[in-house]
Structures are given as C-alpha cells and as structure tokens.
Structure 1
Amino acid sequence: MAIGAEEQVRTALAAADVETARPEERAEMLMEIAVGLQIKPKSVDEIRAAIDLYNRALAICPSSHALLEARIRARRATALQAIPEEGSASLELARDGLEAAIPNLREHGSAEELAEAEMNLGLVLQGLSSAGKARIVDAISAYQRALRTFDRAAFPTEYAILQNNLATAFLSIPFTDERSKMREALAVQAFEEGLKVVNVIDHPSEYAMLQNNLGNALQYASSSHSVENNLRAIEAYDEALKVRSRKSAPLEYANTISNKANCLWNLPDDVEDPASGNRLNLAVARKLYAEAREIFASAGEAGKARIVAEALDQIDRETLSVAPLRETNGPMHEAE
C-alpha cells in the first residue's frame, strides 16, 4: 500500500476512534471515508485502502443495524469491482456482498439504493459469466429489476447505462441457437432506447458510449442487410467521435476509430455498385488504424496495438493485390 493511502487509513481510523462515539457511528464514519477514497482514486492502493476501511466498518457495525450493514456491504462491492486482477476472486466477493445486502436494502432502504445494488449485481454477474462462474441471464434479470426504479423520466442517466448494460449482456450470449438474431435485435433496440434519453450536450460520456456500442452491434449483426447496417454504424461512430477526441479521451477515441475503420473495410465505395470495390474506404480505414495503433502503443496497450498492426498489414496486402471486397471479423469490438 502506498504511503499516501496508508496515511489516509491511519487518519480515518483515528477519526473514527472516538470514545464517545457509538459503534454504529464509527462504522458509518469509516464507510464515508472509504467512499471518499473511491472517488477518483490515484492508484489501486487507494481502492484497497477503501476495502480495508469497509471491512473494519463491518467488523464493528452492530447486528441490530441491518440497513447500515447492507450499505457498507454494497459500497464495498463497488470497490471490489474496481480491483484489477487475473482471476475472479474480487468479483465473487462483490457478488456475495451484494446478495447479502439486497434483502436488507429491499426491506429497510430506499428504492434508489436497492436499484443501484441490483445494477451493480448485474455488472458483477456479467463479469463472472465470462469466466463461467455466473449465468448471463441472471445479470439481465438484475438489470431489469433495477429498471423498475431507474426509469427514463426520473433517472435518464441510470436508465441509459442500464440499457447499455442490457444490450451488451444480450450480445455476450453465444450465437448458437435460433434466438440469436432476436437477441441481436433486442441489443440494438436497447442501445437506441438509451439514446432516447441522453444527448451529446448533457450526457456526453453516456451518449458516446451508447453510440459506439450501437455501431458495434449494427456492424457485427448477422443480417442480410450488412451494407445498410454498416452505413448506420458509421453514423453512430461519428456521433461518438463528437465526444471522444484524441486529446480528451485518447483510448476511447482509438477504440472508436478502430471500430469505424473495420466498418469501412467492409463497405464498398459505391453502395449501389458493390462490385466496384472499396479501395477508397480501405485507404481511410488504413489511416484510422495507423492513428489507433500509435495511440495504443503510446498508452502501453500492446495487445490492442498488435491487433491493429495486423489489420494494417492485411489491408496493405489487399491493396497491393487489388483484392475484392470481403467480410472480416475485424480487430476491435469493444463495449465501453
């Protein structure tokens, strides 16, 4: 743990160690200080320090204060979600904490607290599902329960985020049965539903996220209308790029221009005459890939830089051989 985080923990413990304070007051104070550590943490050490404070708060919280205990568990879960790790231990702890907290939040807490916990549970379950340790349908159910409170009228930001989460959950289900196309359609519908309540001025981050992910959903849909979908995807990426710039959000910008490049790679220059090829779109795609590779490399994202470099090499081979238009899975397909 970094010295700064250690000092904050010592300060928090000293502040909470007041003889005249009741245990529940001390527990609540530790929780509030931990929440403060989670806001824009400078390092993972501050997240770990917050988790330590939550654990100490739980240790002294009286069993008679069920709502306070539930709030501490729910907050600790959000900190556990933020821990970068190879395995899934932290996510499993977060799941257990949320599942323990939700019944008490349902009985004693506010509707908003419960909905927030359900939304976070959905995220945790979605993360665990990729490791085979949870069912994606349970994540979808948690998101849908959260939507009972976080409706489009009163909570537009939360509503939009939940629609994005639902869509990415639908898309994460393997396309191995006859319902695959229906899930793709539901994902596109959810992205579009989220975009009905956010705009580029008031909710720029959510707007860009939804537009980027809508573009991905359209681009990779198994549809007989691939050209039409790709044109719509280009429009969505361009909308995302109204927010995501190389200066303000370089990695998000690089992801989006990579997605746009892949879309152009599969789009004929003249949609009315697909047989004429796509050399012009390939040239634009190559330029976008080159910029994305530079950004990824400078940010230390070696894996993404390598994938984009491979796409550049393939484009160069196609351009030299005057290859016909063909389909590709492409290098980028990031939900963010």
Structure 2
Amino acid sequence: MADNTSDGQVDFLLEVLQAIADSNGDQQVVEKLLEANIDKLNQTLADKLRDWATTKLAEAKPDEAISLSADIVEFSKIVAKLPLGDKASNIEIAITGYEVALTVYTHEAFPVEWAKTQFNLGLAYSQRRKGQKAENLEVAIACFQFVLEVRTREGFPVEWAKTQFNLGIAYRNRIKGEKAQNIEQAIACCQQALRVFTFEAFPDDWAWTQYNLGIAYNNRIKGEKAQNIEEAIACYQQTLRVYTFEAFPYEWASTQTNLGAAYSNRIKGEKTQNIEKAIACYQQALRVRTFEAFSYQWALTQTNLGAAYSDRIKGEKAENIEVAIACYQQALRVYTFEAFPYEWATTQNNLGIAYSDRIKG
C-alpha cells in the first residue's frame, strides 16, 4: 500500500531528489520513479516540498544550497511535463519547486539561473489550473518580463526569443487589461521572436510563432479588419511550409482549420472562391481530425464545414444545404447537451437554420 503519510511524502521527496543527483542528467530514470509513484504527486507533496526545502535551504551551506536548488528545479521541470497523474497537482508541485529555488537563485547572486527559473515559473503559471486564471496569467507575464531583464537579444538570443514568444501567448490569453491592447502586445512579442526564429535557422520555432501570430491577427481589434485577416492568412500559409501533413499531421490539421476559418471570414477577394478555399481547408483537416482520434476537434471542424456549405455559392444550393445538415448532425455525435452544452446549443441553432433553408424534403 502506498505511504501517503506526512513522513512517507518526505521520504519519497528525498528519494526523488537523490535519484536526480545520481542520474547524470538522465531524466528517464526520474520519470520512471515518478510514474511508479503517481499517487504521491499531489498537493500534500507540494506542501511538504515547500516546508522541507525552505527549512533545508535556510540551514544549508552555500554550496549545498546551490546543489539542492538545482535538483529541485530539475524535479520541477520533469514533473511539470509529466504526462501521467493529475496535471493540476503536477503543476502545483512544479510551481512550489521553482519558488523555493528562487530563494537561493536571486537576481543579484545568480542572474542566469534566476532568469531560467523565472522562465519556467512563467510557463507553469501559464498552464496552472488551480487559482484564478486571470491572476495566474498576470504572474506569468510578470515572470517573463523579469526574464527579459537578463535574457537580452544580444546576450541570449534564442532564450530571448523563446521568452518573447511565451510572453506573447500570455498577452493573447490575458483576461485583465484592455483586450485590444493585449492583442497588440501579443503581436509585437511574436514579431520580436521572429527576429531570431527565422525559417532557415529555427524552422519549427518559426512555424509555431507564425501560427500563433496568425491567431493574434485573426483576433485583432485594432487596424482594418480586412487587412488583419490577410495577415492571418499569410501567417498560416507560411506555417504550412514547415507543418506538412507528413511531418506534423496534428499541427498541419490545426493550421488548415484556422486557415479555413480565415478564408470563411475573408473580406478581400472573391467571396465565392474564398468559401471554396475554406471548404477545401476543412476537408483537409478532417484527414487528421477523425472522430476516433480527435473527437472534439473533429466536431469543431464538422461545424465549420457545415457553416461553409451553408454559405456556399458554387454548386447546387439544395445539395449544399444537405451537406451542411449532415455536417451539423455529425458534430452532434460529440457535442451532446451533457458534455458540451454551449457547443450543442450553437450547433442545434445552426442545424435549425439549415432546415429552415432546406429545399429538399
């Protein structure tokens, strides 16, 4: 039987930290230990980590404190990325570890380690499930801004770009502040990241940044809407230079879906052709987004495809409406009243409109 008592949790924590110290950087050794003790990764462990480490670091000699802080940070990084267990608890443990380590890794004494730990803390708060989301994002933004005090473009170009990118994502998701300005900040951060993340030097990072820049332009409030959509389309098309069906099928499908939505909303160009392009994008996405593998994303794409067929100008109108009805009905296999009430209601509404416009039957 697992020992989740107070002493048992501390013993497990010591075992993990010793494994990290002995692992020579082999994370798999630590991951296997954590996976074998998933039941111990909970809020109690986070609390014990804070209490034990705070006392231990305060009492330790400087060299011992530095070594222990490094092990705690490594533990936090591993547990934050662990795919098993309760994600919310894993993130709480990671946050605790980073915050404890920062009592040793101060800006004045260890600026580089301080910046690395602040960066990881920002990532953890961005992903945090406990607490108020709005507050978590504010902490994440503050962490990334702290990091940029040390990680300059001149001194740490790649790390600077990664921080700019993650700061941009945090601003895009920000709840506090003026939404329009938050999106402007997100765009600016992504554009900054692209000064380092070029297609030639960092194709994967470049593509991921282009993808998120496209989302920001699609959501942009300032500027001319028609031009913002053109910018979004351009970003998604750039993304597809790297995110191919063969190499990155999931990311390719997500980009196709977003590109389809941008074409559906496009103001410039011929409307008839824009809708055809949107339909083609959604159909491409469904090559990956299957009901079996990605049910929610499949339903979302079916809904978007139904809307595109409802608006379609080419083809026979009666047949287009039949296809739209079929798409909405497919989406309702996933969008049930119990599981997804909002999506269910929206799809029911769209289905009702399609039936109102129906020519056949």
Q: TM-score, normalised by structure 2?
A: 0.78
1:152-167 → structure 2 map (5 Å cutoff): 152-167=199-214
Question: Which residue of structure 2 aligns with residue 60 of structure 1?
Answer: 104
Question: Which residue of structure 1 aligns with residue 22 of structure 2?
Answer: none
Between stretches 16-25 and 112-121, larger displacement belongs to 16-25
Structure 2: gaps (5+ residues): 1-38
Between stretches 220-229 and 4-13, larger displacement belongs to 4-13
Question: Which residue of structure 1 aligns with residue 196 of structure 2?
Answer: 149
**Quick check: 1:290 aligned with 2:329?**
yes
Amino acid at match of 1:128: R
1:1-336 → structure 2 map (5 Å cutoff): 4-6=41-43, 9=46, 22-39=64-81, 40=83, 42-62=86-106, 63-84=108-129, 87-106=133-152, 110-128=156-174, 132=178, 134-174=181-221, 179-223=224-268, 225-270=270-315, 278-297=317-336, 300-319=339-358
CA distance, structure 1, for counterparts of residue 121 and residue 290 of structure 2: 33
Q: Is the 8 A contact 2:115 2:146 kept in 1?
A: yes
CA distance, structure 2, for counterparts of residue 110 and residue 28 of structure 1: 20
CA distance, structure 1, for counterparts of residue 153 and residue 350 of structure 2: 53
* 1:80-116: CA deviation from partner (whole Å, max 9, x where unpaired): 1112466511111100110011121227964222211
Secondary structure of the 1:60 match is: coil
Amino acid at match of 2:268: S
CA distance, structure 2, for counterparts of residue 243 and residue 131 of structure 1: 37
Secondary structure of the 2:246 match is: coil
* 1:112-161: CA deviation from partner (whole Å, max 9, x where unpaired): 22211110000011112785265322211110111122211232222111
Shift in alpha-carbon separation, 1:281–1:107, aligned structure 2, 3 A: closer
Secondary structure of the 1:104 match is: coil
Structure 1: gaps (5+ residues): 271-276, 323-336
CA distance, structure 1, for counterparts of residue 49 and residue 154 of structure 2: 27
Between stretches 221-230 and 161-170, larger displacement belongs to 221-230
Secondary structure of the 1:242 match is: coil
Secondary structure of the 2:221 match is: coil
Between stretches 179-188 and 257-266, larger displacement belongs to 179-188
CA distance, structure 2, for counterparts of residue 302 and residue 114 of structure 1: 41
Larger Rg: 1 or 2? 2
Q: Is the 8 A contact 1:54 1:72 kept in 2?
A: yes
Q: TM-score, normalised by structure 1?
A: 0.84
CA distance, structure 2, for counterparts of residue 203 and residue 138 of structure 1: 28
How many aligned residue pairs are there? 313
